[in-house]
Structure 1
């Protein structure tokens, strides 16, 4: 196989093939990743008999770690959406904050609902309400778009059970419960800076420049929202929140109880079993189905089947990303890139962030960027003195910002909130980048105390 700088050339060519496949030829990301994996293997001179097994091995090992929990996570989010739990949570937070502080309320709502629900679903659900709020409060629509999109992407990039951070945690072999605690704190800090504070700046800027949207169709939206409020039975706030908290609390107990009691305590095996991410999410889905039953108009089976239809492509893309990462490892590309960058004495946390951010910016997918970066740097992280949990968070932080028009999420935000491309860049691309940088700054501070903070070493 090739060695030295030629490996870098093959890697850059592989990224170019991936970009052209997705952007120019609009190939499905699953097919594009498989083609890129195959071409990369051939170009570096991998033995022909090893190519298929390496790709399938990477695909299988990735899904064995996250396949079940990803599928269950989509089902959990589907139940929250169908029974009205997401709407209940967002309305309660909005009422608590008031209209003046509604962007902050929307950001927190997006932060919570973005954990079990994928971004496009959150945007679809919130868009009508946000356009009505913008009209009523005279707060810029770009501010609301920034608040919800940055918040949901922070949780998507950083907080399990979403696929991207799960893949990173599996690749680096870290405890998902401890990772969850530090990741959700980091995501919250990033949401405040990139979603709320920067959103306020956008509102002041738009007021100063007289830049507002007219909302010609707003009356129809208002009528639909009022009709929904009057006719639809909704779960209480605590019931709604409990659907989200049950699996999370089980996972946290499974991680922290053994730390507190020690592995020899008789209770620990049971707690570890219930706190296993797959078991906890299964219990969470069963609980969600029982709580949702009085409030849904369709059968539990139909909702699960709909969720299963969405899961398929997500798992295929995730598995193919794992296959590409395995090829990078098996061919020596990952080790060479990590070694080359290490010569520049770049701090490991910054290195994790930079590689993830560059790949994210280049090809548009947060999931692909995080998976690829974790594969490239896994060996370097293991050999470093910095907590692998903080390195994992730095990788995830790099996947938040600099979303460009090669990202499908960019167009989803523009389309659902009916804002211009320029405003999407102002609110989402820049807001996400600020969120990512603030996440990196926060974990850099945490690294100074990693010897005393629980679970980091």
Structure 2
């Protein structure tokens, strides 16, 4: 009968593998929405482990609600923040300013930096849509390979998506493992920057040399319409780059104050209640959205309410998938599968940072979604990380790094990059799949070096 005994031993590993296989089949073979696929897998896993049926339902509910309760508000506010930056033309101004500083020859660096900044408040596909016409014109003008530009923007954007708050995946990892998000943000931002340099810029240079050597270039015969669109945009008054950056900085500064001031003044300081309040992620993001609405008024044709409503519409599916990922993770923890899988893998004496990266990378490669891979890995390794002696901050970054590379055709982002930049599947693999993997490896090496100094560096222990 159901609920008499929860399965133990090697059978747990078999059920876990079956659950992952079923999840992959539902998403890849049957094209089922990831939200529904995760819920089906979560319920099925609980039933197969013989958990009492009422506990299965309650655990799924608790996992879903707990995840959204911790990250739902800040994710929604983050999308609103990005929407104001996009509608006001602020993101375009940032990109134009950076391109103006670096010039044509170093434009791939400028593109990577632009993607790195815009990838924080704006989701990947929107960034690709926004940049594609400009990058194709740049490639035609500079004779720099289009694959190099695609590599620069896609790797940079995904580094921030996978690592930098307030995007959903790193926020979910931070909440699952229970780490301070301000300190995590600080080290994750630096790590993402390292990944961008190695995987987005340096690998992009290699691609450009390869394409020049092989005389491999795109003709851009269809560029007339895109060039006209760019000219029309240039006639519109845009928010300045400084103002646009200030929208990002308001919540970031507040969150960092809430995390680092206690390290300086001590937890017993009389100013701590105020610091904790203003550094709260939800309050900080709310302040950022209000500030964005106020300074964007003269640059947007829509009302602030319309912008917020459109942003809320965009965030719905993101929250559903994230919540379902939390439900699946909760089932893995409640049934003992997470502890058993982590314990089994630990027998191979794999360093914890490598283990974090490896599991996330395997799941990411297998089913395509960065969010699902990171949340599942965090759920599996939470207790192992706590007992490892390695900073949970660095372990969380290693997990996030595993979600960057080896994007295959089962990933919708793979096709977004190929479609919007109008490059072949082979070139998408060269620029994005391999470039992202190199970026993830670079971040893993970087956090491994940081772990040698975790007793000295602030906030890591």
TM-score (ref. length: structure 2):
0.98
1:170 paired with 2:185, answer no
1:308 alignment counterpart: 312
Report how far residue 265 of structure 1 moved.
2.2
Q: How does 1:23-62 map to 2 (within 5 A)?
A: 23-62=28-67
3-state SS, counterpart of residue 405 of structure 2: coil
1:456 alignment counterpart: 460
Report how far residue 349 of structure 1 moved.
0.4
The match for 1:133 among 131, 138, 142 is 138
1:233 alignment counterpart: 237
1:65 paired with 2:59, answer no
Report how far residue 268 of structure 1 moved.
2.2
CA–CA distance in structure 1, aligned partners of residues 31 and 71 of structure 2: 27
CA–CA distance in structure 2, aligned partners of residues 263 and 51 of structure 1: 39
CA–CA distance in structure 2, aligned partners of residues 266 and 115 of structure 1: 33
1:433 paired with 2:431, answer no
The match for 1:224 among 226, 229, 234 is 229
3-state SS, counterpart of residue 269 of structure 2: coil
Is the 2:91–2:241 Cα contact (8 Å) retained in structure 1? Answer: no
CA–CA distance in structure 1, aligned partners of residues 74 and 215 of structure 2: 47
CA–CA distance in structure 2, aligned partners of residues 160 and 238 of structure 1: 21
3-state SS, counterpart of residue 221 of structure 2: coil
1:404 paired with 2:401, answer no
CA–CA distance in structure 2, aligned partners of residues 347 and 381 of structure 1: 11
1:244 alignment counterpart: 248
Root mean square deviation of aligned Cα: 0.7
The answer for unaligned runs of 5 or more in structure 2 is 1-5
2:266 alignment counterpart: 262
1:202 alignment counterpart: 207
Report how far residue 84 of structure 1 moved.
0.5
Report how far residue 264 of structure 1 moved.
2.5
The match for 1:182 among 178, 187, 194 is 187
1:362 alignment counterpart: 366
1:3 alignment counterpart: 8
CA–CA distance in structure 2, aligned partners of residues 377 and 143 of structure 1: 36
CA–CA distance in structure 2, aligned partners of residues 207 and 400 of structure 1: 27
CA–CA distance in structure 2, aligned partners of residues 440 and 154 of structure 1: 13
CA–CA distance in structure 1, aligned partners of residues 173 and 211 of structure 2: 38
Q: How does 1:289-438 map to 2 (within 5 A)?
A: 289-438=293-442
CA–CA distance in structure 1, aligned partners of residues 397 and 80 of structure 2: 25
Report how far residue 221 of structure 1 moved.
1.1
1:78-134: CA deviation from partner (whole Å, max 9, x where unpaired): 111100010000110000000100001000000011011100010000000000000
2:120 alignment counterpart: 115
CA–CA distance in structure 2, aligned partners of residues 68 and 367 of structure 1: 17
1:277 paired with 2:278, answer no
Report how far residue 263 of structure 1 moved.
2.1
3-state SS, counterpart of residue 14 of structure 1: helix
Range moving further from structure 2, 38-47 or 273-282:
38-47
1:181-240: CA deviation from partner (whole Å, max 9, x where unpaired): 10000000000000000000000000000100111111221121112102x111112111
CA–CA distance in structure 1, aligned partners of residues 180 and 61 of structure 2: 26
CA–CA distance in structure 1, aligned partners of residues 18 and 178 of structure 2: 29
1:212 paired with 2:214, answer no
CA–CA distance in structure 2, aligned partners of residues 32 and 389 of structure 1: 30
The match for 2:158 among 136, 139, 153 is 153
Is the 2:356–2:398 Cα contact (8 Å) retained in structure 1? Answer: yes
- Count, aligned residues: 456
CA–CA distance in structure 2, aligned partners of residues 224 and 334 of structure 1: 51
2:3 alignment counterpart: none
CA–CA distance in structure 1, aligned partners of residues 26 and 217 of structure 2: 37
Question: Which 4+ runs in 1 deviate beyond 3 A?
Answer: none
The answer for unaligned runs of 5 or more in structure 1 is none
1:7-52: CA deviation from partner (whole Å, max 9, x where unpaired): 1111111111111111111111100000000111111111112110
CA–CA distance in structure 1, aligned partners of residues 430 and 145 of structure 2: 12
CA–CA distance in structure 2, aligned partners of residues 284 and 60 of structure 1: 25
Report how far residue 269 of structure 1 moved.
1.4
1:106 paired with 2:82, answer no
2:94 alignment counterpart: 89
CA–CA distance in structure 2, aligned partners of residues 179 and 49 of structure 1: 36
